[in-house]
């Protein structure tokens, strides 16, 4: 039977406000699955034009798949979100890139023609499930020198990246972190973050009911002097601190993906079109370098160059990891195309959920920048991997269904 691939579009994305993990965090007595259920319900509420029975898959990521993040989360969350019992679902684990992988998995199924519409996302409640909880790494991994022991401690891998690239100084990392806080504060002031948030009702045994409506981790007004005074927990006299790294956080994300044909049929908005994606492996000891080869591979697949990318959403697990990416591609530390609304250093990084946050923010920036045709979401991944996804802006003058694929355009492929 003849078969042709379908174009895949990003319809919409939402997230909960991100919280600080721990007993004082806003979600300390809120279930992880309830966070992602709130996101799915909000997507369905925002799109009444979408019949619930048309959602053919729910893929949800969690790094620690036990407790309130276990039990085949995609399926149970689908049931609890009000989707029909005929809607299947499954769980994904690629550590920090879990939600990103949920998106690329379901997008690939849509492109293949297995179904037309899916929901993908992720959740991480690091207060309930600290990173590494319940894991039992095979001792051969270290004993046979497959990885250095530092590869199993993400902060240590960031210190290793500083070692490998001495020009990536603590001063540069701290300056980058301050800019991330400042950009997030400016984005909040301009009302750019709030439209993507889902308010979540919380309950605490002692404090009673509450409403999480804004992110908890940001520290507006952070200065270089503040960061210079912080301890370096992963190494004496090191360079990685709590100030130039993402924190330990709780939160969830979800997005709606569709084939281009289904979006047109149902009147669903098209906020981005998937161009290409890539996941790669790198030395686990310097996992932060992962987005570099992942981006190079995604660009090659798309037939694009780094200069074609007009907007970057890079996950800020550690400032040094973003700086390594920028240096490799010859991009300035303060390039305005990079993380326009700030990043994970300011807003938080609930591990498996973060990939969809990057995508949702890129989609909103596409609306504000019709002069930009292509954008990138990329992140480093624990145990030595990197992921990258390239998207096309439907608001760009050259975007049409006939010329959507790079190489079949008008010849005016460069972005402003």
Residue of 128, 129, 162, 349 marked active site: 349
Asked if 39 is an active-site residue, the reply is no
Pairing of strands 200-204, 117-125: unpaired
Residue of 39, 125, 162, 380 marked active site: 380
Q: Report CA-CA distances (Å) from 238 to 152, 160, 242, 316, 406.
A: 18, 10, 12, 18, 44
Distance CA 33, CA 21 (A): 15
For 87, half-sphere exposure in the C-beta direction (CA atoms, 13 angstrom radius) is 25
The first and second tokens of residue 18, run together, are 């991100």
The first and second tokens of residue 53, run together, are 């029975």
Sign of the CA dihedral 267, 198, 126, 218? positive
Contacts of 346 (CB under 8 A, 6+ apart): 180, 181, 183, 184, 185, 217, 218, 219, 316
CA dihedral 292, 294, 296, 301 (to 10 degrees): -170
Residue of 39, 96, 162, 369 marked active site: 96
Cα 210 to chain center, whole Å?
26
Q: Which residues are catalytic?
A: 96, 349, 380
């Amino acid at each position: 039977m003849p078969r042709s691939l379908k174009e895949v579009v990003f319809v919409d994305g939402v997230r909960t406000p991100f919280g600080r993990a721990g007993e004082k965090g806003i979600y300390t007595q809120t279930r992880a699955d309830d966070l992602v259920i709130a996101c799915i319900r909000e997507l369905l509420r925002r799109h009444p034009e979408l019949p619930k029975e048309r959602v053919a898959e729910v893929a949800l990521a969690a790094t620690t798949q036990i407790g309130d993040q276990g039990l085949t989360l995609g399926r149970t969350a689908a049931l609890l979100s009000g989707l029909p019992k005929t809607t299947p679902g499954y769980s994904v684990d690629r550590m920090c890139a879990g939600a990103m992988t949920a998106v690329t998995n379901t997008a690939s199924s849509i492109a293949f023609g297995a179904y037309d519409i899916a929901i993908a996302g992720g959740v991480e409640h690091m207060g309930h499930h600290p990173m590494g909880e319940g894991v039992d790494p095979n001792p051969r991994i270290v004993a046979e020198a497959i990885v250095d022991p530092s590869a199993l401690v993400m902060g240590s891998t960031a210190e290793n990246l500083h070692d490998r690239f001495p020009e990536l100084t603590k001063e540069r990392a701290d300056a980058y972190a301050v800019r991330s806080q400042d950009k997030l504060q400016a984005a909040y002031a301009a009302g750019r973050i709030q439209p993507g948030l889902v308010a979540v009702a919380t309950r605490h045994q002692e404090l009673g009911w509450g409403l999480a409506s804004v992110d908890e981790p940001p520290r507006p007004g952070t200065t270089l002097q503040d960061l210079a005074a912080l301890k370096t927990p992963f190494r004496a006299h090191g360079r990685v601190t709590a100030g130039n790294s993402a924190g330990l956080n709780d939160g969830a994300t979800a997005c709606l993906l569709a084939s281009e044909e289904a979006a047109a049929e149902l009147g669903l908005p098209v906020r981005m079109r998937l161009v290409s994606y890539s996941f790669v492996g790198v030395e686990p000891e310097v996992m932060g370098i992962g987005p570099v080869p992942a981006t190079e591979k995604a660009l090659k697949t798309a037939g694009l160059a780094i200069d074609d990318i007009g907007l970057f959403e890079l996950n800020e697990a550690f400032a040094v990891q973003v700086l390594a990416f920028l240096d490799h591609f010859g991009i300035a530390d303060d390039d305005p195309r990079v993380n326009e609304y700030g990043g994970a250093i300011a807003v938080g990084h609930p591990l498996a959920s973060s990939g969809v946050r990057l995508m949702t923010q890129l989609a909103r920036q596409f609306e504000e920048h019709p002069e930009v045709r292509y954008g990138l979401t990329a992140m480093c991944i624990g145990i030595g991997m990197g992921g990258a996804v390239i998207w096309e802006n439907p608001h760009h003058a050259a975007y049409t269904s006939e010329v959507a694929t790079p190489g079949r355009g008008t010849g005016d492929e460069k972005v402003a």
